[in-house]
């Protein structure tokens, strides 16, 4: 196995390994897991991907999420991001599927709006447009380490509120349906996630974050926006240019990502599996003290 760094201080390509190797060999899994903890984004090229193979690989890292109401794949362990409608044709740009891809083009980390946040997301490319449609990543660990120590200390003691409806409403009013809003009440998480393996802190930020506990609404949102801007500064990202057979996994605790646009008439279909965080991944350290949660 070769781990080849491909980004600015994070992100690596894993060569000489198939998804099935990770499923069948504990030693291979351990090596990939260590690379995941260190590099935050791992790309596997030239894979022969099936839904079952992707899920078996994903399960190695923890319990798979069940896809939420309102997403394509609801009730299963798969989420399909596509612009191909039920009739097999590419949907118009104002179609809900296209709007949802647009919402994914805001910097975010997956599932911060859920009661159990996600450790990792595993995304495979099934149909790729000829132009654009990359996925771009930044390290919120490196972003945290770039901040002044006084701000680092403040953020380690701060908590932010995350709401799916907040990110969706940036794209269009009503994009999150009443069912989604009812199923996904806002969640409060510490703003810094310390990796239990290497002890390094990372900003836990997302397009879903809308308020900072104990701060006036506007000031909290300003802080979230300033931190997002700092975390996504020019030159800090790894842009994954999808090829057939690519599978990319990322650490939702230590990165943000966004989809990049592509011509509206071109089809794109991606399949994601998402693994919930567990105590071993540090989720208990992220919850606010009961006093704050009760509000």
272 binds, among ligand OGA, Mn ion, none (CB under 5 to 8 A by kind): ligand OGA
Residue 228 partner contact from ligand OGA, Mn ion, none using kind-dependent CB cut-offs of 5 to 8 Å: none
Judged by beta carbon, residue 39 or residue 108, the one nearer ligand OGA is: 108
Q: Which residue is nearest to Mn ion (CB)?
A: 110
Strand order in the sheet with 2-5: 2-5, 12-15, 41-44, 247-251, 118-127, 269-276, 79-82
Is residue 110 close enough to count as binding ligand OGA by CB under 6 A? Answer: yes
Q: How many residues bind ligand OGA (CB under 6 A)?
A: 10
- Tell me which stretch binds Mn ion (CB under 5 A): 10-18, 107-115, 150-158, 183-191: 107-115
Residue from 40, 54, 82, 121 binding ligand OGA (CB under 6 A): 121
Torsion of CA 269, 179, 119, 18, to 10 degrees: -30
User: Per rule CB under 6 A, is residue 272 in the interface with ligand OGA?
Assistant: yes
Q: Which of 152, 179, 181 is nearest to 164 (CA)?
A: 181
- Total site size for Mn ion, rule CB under 5 A: 1
Region of 3 please: left (phi>0), alpha (psi -120 to 50) or beta: beta
User: Shortest gap between Cβ of 26 and ligand OGA (angstroms)?
Assistant: 28
Q: Name residues whose C-beta falls within 8 Å of residue 26's C-beta, 6 or more positions apart in sequence.
A: none
Q: How far apart are CA 189 and CA 183, in angstroms?
A: 18
- Tell me which residues touch Mn ion (CB under 5 A): 110
């Amino acid at each position: 196995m070769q781990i080849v760094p491909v980004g600015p201080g994070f992100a690596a390509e894993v060569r000489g390994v198939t998804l099935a190797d990770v499923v069948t060999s504990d030693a291979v899994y351990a090596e990939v897991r260590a690379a995941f903890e260190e590099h935050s984004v791992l790309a596997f090229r030239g894979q022969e991907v099936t839904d079952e193979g992707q899920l078996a690989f994903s399960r190695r890292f923890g319990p798979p999420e069940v896809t939420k109401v309102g997403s394509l794949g609801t009730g299963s362990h798969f989420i399909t991001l596509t612009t191909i409608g039920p009739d097999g044709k590419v949907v118009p740009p104002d179609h809900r599927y296209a709007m949802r891809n647009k919402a994914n083009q805001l910097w975010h980390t997956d599932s911060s709006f859920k009661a159990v946040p996600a450790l990792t997301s595993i995304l495979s490319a099934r149909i790729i447009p000829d132009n654009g449609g990359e996925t771009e990543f930044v390290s919120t660990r490196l972003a945290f380490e770039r901040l002044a120590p006084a701000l680092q200390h403040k953020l380690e003691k701060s908590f932010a509120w995350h709401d799916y409806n907040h990110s969706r409403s940036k794209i269009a009013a009503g994009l999150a349906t009443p069912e989604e809003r009812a199923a996904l009440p806002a969640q409060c998480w510490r703003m810094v996630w310390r990796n239990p393996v290497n002890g390094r802190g990372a900003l836990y930020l997302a397009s879903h974050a809308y308020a900072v506990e104990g701060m006036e609404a506007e000031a909290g949102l300003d802080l979230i926006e300033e931190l997002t801007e700092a975390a996504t500064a020019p030159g800090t990202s790894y842009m994954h240019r999808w090829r057939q057979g690519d599978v990319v996994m990322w650490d939702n605790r230590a990165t943000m990502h966004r989809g990049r646009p592509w011509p509206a008439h071109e089809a794109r279909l991606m399949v994601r599996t998402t693994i919930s965080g567990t105590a071993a991944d540090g989720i208990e350290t992220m919850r606010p003290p009961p006093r704050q949660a009760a509000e």
